[in-house]
Each structure stands twice: as C-alpha cells, then as structure tokens.
Amino acid sequence: MLSMELQERVVEGARELARRDAATGGAGKDWTVAETILAAYLCVFGDPSRMGGTKMTRDGTQRQLPAVTALACALGRNDGSVVTKVMNLRSRFTAGARGLSHGSHLDGWAAQAFGGRYDDLAFSAEVIATVFPPARPMLDALSPRWREGWDAAPDMPNGVRSPEPDTQVMRLRAERRGQELFRSRVMANYEHTCAFCGLRSRMPDSNSYLLIASHIRPWSESTGHQRLDYQNGLALCAIHDRAFDWGFATVDDDLRIVVSPVAREHYAPEERIEQELSSFNGRDLIRPTSHFVPPSKDYLEFHCCRSS
C-alpha cells in the first residue's frame, strides 16, 4: 500500500496534469510527476525492447506500439519523446543494465519509489487515470482483455475526477489489471504454448482459454513485484496447471520437468497418469523462441513436488 506521503504526491501530480491539460491542451517542456509515473508504468508493463523505433507498414507509413502512441496522444507529446523517457526510466529501473543513461531526477525518484513495488505502480497509474481520463487508453492498450465497467468514480467539473471516494475500488481495479498484465506477458513469453505438453493456441489474441498463466511462487506468498513478475510464471494447459499448483509436478533449476511419483497413488487410471503426467518426467521445459526468458531460479527453488 502506498504511504500517505507518496499517495498525496501521486494525487497532486495527477491534478496538476489535469489542470495543465485543461489550460493548455498540451505538454510542457519538462515531464511532471504524473507523466513520469505513466511512463514508468509503460516501461515496466510494456515491452521496451520493441519501442526503439517505429514499424514500417506495407503502405510506407510508420506505426509505433499502440501503448506508446496512446500515451503520447494523452500527454500531447510525440512518440519519440515517450520512447526516450521510457528508455531513461529503464536505465534507472535496471541499475544501468538497459536503456539510456540520461535521465532526470524524477526518473531516479520513480525508480526508488516503485522499484520492486509494481503493484503500487499499477495503483498509482489507476489514480492518475481516474483524475486524468486521457491516460486510460494507454493502460488499456497494455491489457487488451481488460473488462469494462470499472470506472465508478463520480464525474467532477471539467472532466476531473476525484480518487478519494473510491480508493478501494481503484486498488481492486489495479490488482485485476496487474493480473491481466501478468498473464499477457507470460503468454507472450511462451507464445501461448503450454510449457509442459506444447498445447498451443492458433488464435492467441482471441482464444487462449485452455492456457493459464500459472504463478510459480503463489500469489498469496509473493510481494507486489513477485506477483507481477513474468519470470514468476509458466504458461500451462489446464491439467498441467493444476498438477503444478498442487505439487504433482515442478521444474528444476536446469528447466527440466519433475513429476512426483505420488500422482499414481492419488489418481487413476494408470494409463492416463502415465500419458498426462509421468511421461513428462525429465523432459525439458518447452522454450518456444530464441527470445524466451526462462523462469527465475529464485522462484523455482520455492516450488517443490509433493512427497505424500
């Protein structure tokens, strides 16, 4: 949960952005607190590796990632300005390992305030989007399966909304959005393919219902960062998700599948257990592309097989 000091800064930053937009209809020279938080959200929950330039379409025009364009439009900035800001923030969030080394003091502040606390970052972005509705398309662009009907905050004069009456609603909304972002990043990493058996969706944008983004370290025992970290996730079909969740299967440090022998004691018939579980013991975890990022060993060490 945000400290009172940080929450006040987020709310005031959102109101400042809404007032400036109402007065000028565009961006100022310097990035504000609220703009920096929105860019940090894009940095953490987007895919900075694909933001380096625009894509050339068949008709010769260029197209940037939708979330980048949505934020640029909301802030009255161009795509290049948003990409540069994201890369500056990426450097701060990764301690200089990725991104651009030039950044402002606000970039450092954002990394310090939200580094490892991505649920707080999601909540702060929700607060800003409640006060400053033009920011919401960027949030929605990063979560295409997001459900409608959660904008319950009352309308205020000049289109400004107050976050205070619905803090719990926004917290729940941020949590649900965070779950959807976690799912989308896990599914993208595994290309909508079960990491155990290879079951793959032919239509990932509209139909991946048989696949689940399974947490390695359970949600209930994870920090905000761990809950949203896609390296804490496996894409699994329904049966292998349940087997993994209940400890009948796990993954070792060498990314090999380990199946507990007690599965045979709990379930029948024997041939189904052999076909669906036991035959996978010792197999390598499926890694669909060269861009695949393996699950973190820290999370894998937390998970183990049942012994009884």
Tens of pLDDT, residue by residue over 105-154, are 999 999 999 887 787 888 899 889 988 999 999 988 887 544 333 333 33
Contacts of 255 (CB under 8 A, 6+ apart): 284, 285, 287, 294, 295
Mean pLDDT (whole number) for 179-183: 81
Q: Where are the domains of the chain?
A: 4-185, 192-302
pLDDT, residue 147, reads: 38
Mean pLDDT (whole number) for 68-89: 92
pLDDT, residue 237, reads: 95
**Separation CA 107–CA 38 (nearest Å):** 11
Confidence of residue 244 (pLDDT cuts 50, 70, 90): very high
| Backbone dihedral angles phi then psi of residue 211, each to the nearest 5 degrees | -110, 145
pLDDT, residue 137, reads: 92
Q: Are 46 and 139 in contact (CB under 8 A)?
A: no
Number of Cβ atoms within 10 Å of the Cβ of 168: 8
| Backbone dihedral angles phi then psi of residue 161, each to the nearest 5 degrees | -115, 150
At residue 27, what is the residue type?
A
**Separation CA 125–CA 139 (nearest Å):** 8
Q: Is the pLDDT of residue 55 over 80?
A: no
At residue 290, what is the residue type?
S
Q: Which residues pair with 213 in a beta bridge?
A: 235
Alpha-carbon distance values, 183 to 215, 231, 290 (Å): 10, 11, 20
Q: Is the pLDDT of residue 163 over 60?
A: no
Q: Is the pLDDT of residue 182 over 50?
A: yes
Q: Do you know the residue count of the chain?
A: 308
Confidence of residue 219 (pLDDT cuts 50, 70, 90): confident
Q: Is the pLDDT of residue 2 over 50?
A: yes
Q: Is the pLDDT of residue 173 over 80?
A: no
Q: Which two tokens stand for residue 212?
A: 């689940």
| Better-predicted residue by pLDDT, 1 or 308 | 308
Mean pLDDT (whole number) for 66-80: 92
Measured over all CA atoms, what is the biggest interatomic distance in the chain, rounded to whole angstroms?
71
Mean pLDDT (whole number) for 186-190: 88
Confidence of residue 96 (pLDDT cuts 50, 70, 90): confident
Mean pLDDT (whole number) for 226-240: 91
**Separation CA 300–CA 175 (nearest Å):** 24
- Output the CA torsion 162→121→289→232 (10° steps): -120
**Separation CA 245–CA 216 (nearest Å):** 8
| Better-predicted residue by pLDDT, 59 or 242 | 242
**Separation CA 176–CA 74 (nearest Å):** 23
Q: Is the pLDDT of residue 171 over 80?
A: no
pLDDT, residue 148, reads: 39
Q: Is the pLDDT of residue 9 over 50?
A: yes
SS3 233: strand
**Separation CA 277–CA 177 (nearest Å):** 32
Highest mean pLDDT among 52-56, 200-204, 245-249: 245-249
Q: Are 132 and 14 in contact (CB under 8 A)?
A: yes
**114: exposed, middle or buried (Cβ count in 10 Å: 0-12, 13-18, 19+):** buried
- Mean of all residue pLDDT scores within the chain: 82
**Separation CA 278–CA 275 (nearest Å):** 7
Mean pLDDT (whole number) for 259-287: 93
The closest alpha carbon to 122, from 295, 2, 17, 299, belongs to 2
pTM for the model = 0.65
Confidence of residue 166 (pLDDT cuts 50, 70, 90): low
